[in-house]
Amino acid sequence: MVVLESCASYEYDAVKTAVKAIFDACGGIGKLVAPGTKVALKPNLVAKRKPEEAATTHPSVLRAVVELCVEAGGSVIVCESPGGVYDKAILKGLYKGTGIEEAALSAGAELNYELSVTKVDNPDGMYMKTLEILTPLAEADVVINLAKLKTHGMMVYTGAVKNMFGAIPGIGKAEYHFKMPDYASFANTVIDIFLSVKPAFSIIDGVVGMHKDGPTAGDPFEAGLLIGGDNAFETDRVALDLIGARTERVPMAKEAIARGLMPESIDAVELCGNIALADARKRLAGFVVKYNDDCSRLHFSDGFLGKIMSKMVKPKPVFTKKCRSCGECARLCPVKAITVEKGKRAKADLDKCIRCYCCQELCRFKAVKIKKSPVTKLAQKL
């Protein structure tokens, strides 16, 4: 079951009412949390961004879930691993800068500063039969997934399933990008990571989402709704329908459908809530989704000419005049394709670049744009 709840703003009482309604429609918070239950909440805190930038899960949503879990007798810990370095100082700044610290502590939750990982078995994984995830997620009785409705430079869309990539600590994420550079294999790796955590419930914060150049450099989009359910793949399927995304062009969705994890049609999803699907779609009319599969859709040959053409049309990262030469993108690039000279804009070696767009995602100055050739733009319309 997937629940669509209207929520016009982040005013706390309105948020808590909507969040409670989502849980109640699926059997109530008591179905998940009993006295003594260890609950881990995994928000989307991709980087230190203020709540109004719409790049991270809003503190009001997290606070509401914490309070409901505490009221049910659970002990709650909030944990996340952002992109980049993973240490206590970074986590402290992240929790505080996103507004999550105040929301979590005031509601009775603990913030995770434990940096260890735990090896878990993952029999349902395609590539990852065992992997290491954040210890609080591995040790929790229940994991609740608090995602954000956003576009994504590499994966096109990020919601419930993609949010679990944060179960991998810090720069360990770069290793996955390096080992799985093509979009299909990376999408399947993200799915495998999700399956290793197995969140019991997911809520996508779409009160104000992000479109265009997400997940951090896009524009806020006021949709005024929350999407929740006990099946993250179905929850994402509904979100994808609402934003008008074509699932065959969203790597995670395409691969999840092929694996039988996500319904191909939204008609297969049981829906409820205080807003009808048609009305929710209207709220998200104008939400801009940018696809990056264009060169594969042109079906170039594998020969010499085909490789040249593919290279010409593949979207590429471009560093704008906002670049401060801080070097963070070069340090975090999975394939070390970026160089930075003091006082000059960063440069990417496009022969090495795997088009993961981590540079765009993690740039705090929003200095990286994904540039597409005229041929690519034309293909995008097909």
What is the rounded distance in angstroms from the CA atom of residue 178 to the CA atom of residue 334? Answer: 6
Q: 156 with 273, same domain? A: yes
One pLDDT digit (tens) per residue for the chain, 382 residues: 999 999 999 999 999 999 999 999 999 999 999 999 999 999 999 999 999 999 999 999 999 999 999 999 999 999 999 877 899 999 999 999 999 999 999 999 999 999 999 999 999 999 999 999 999 999 999 999 999 999 999 999 999 999 999 999 987 888 889 889 899 999 999 999 999 999 999 999 999 999 999 999 999 999 999 999 999 999 999 999 999 999 999 999 999 999 999 999 999 999 999 999 999 999 999 999 999 864 555 555 556 665 566 666 778 999 999 999 999 999 989 999 999 998 999 999 998 999 899 999 999 999 999 887 665 666 555 5
Q: 23 with 107, same domain? A: yes
Is cis: bond before 334, omega within 30 of 0? no
Q: How many helices (H) does the chain have, and how many strands (E)? A: 16, 15
- The pair of structure tokens assigned to 149 is 């409705």
What is the rounded distance in angstroms from the CA atom of residue 261 to the CA atom of residue 334? Answer: 29
Closest among 282, 285, 250, 277 to 264, alpha carbons compared: 250
Q: 159 with 278, same domain? A: yes
Q: 101 with 184, same domain? A: yes
What is the rounded distance in angstroms from the CA atom of residue 307 to the CA atom of residue 301? Answer: 7
Closest among 144, 106, 136 to 12, alpha carbons compared: 106
Q: 227 with 126, same domain? A: yes
For residue 329, the surrounding DSSP H or E stretch is: helix 328-332
Q: 173 with 76, same domain? A: yes
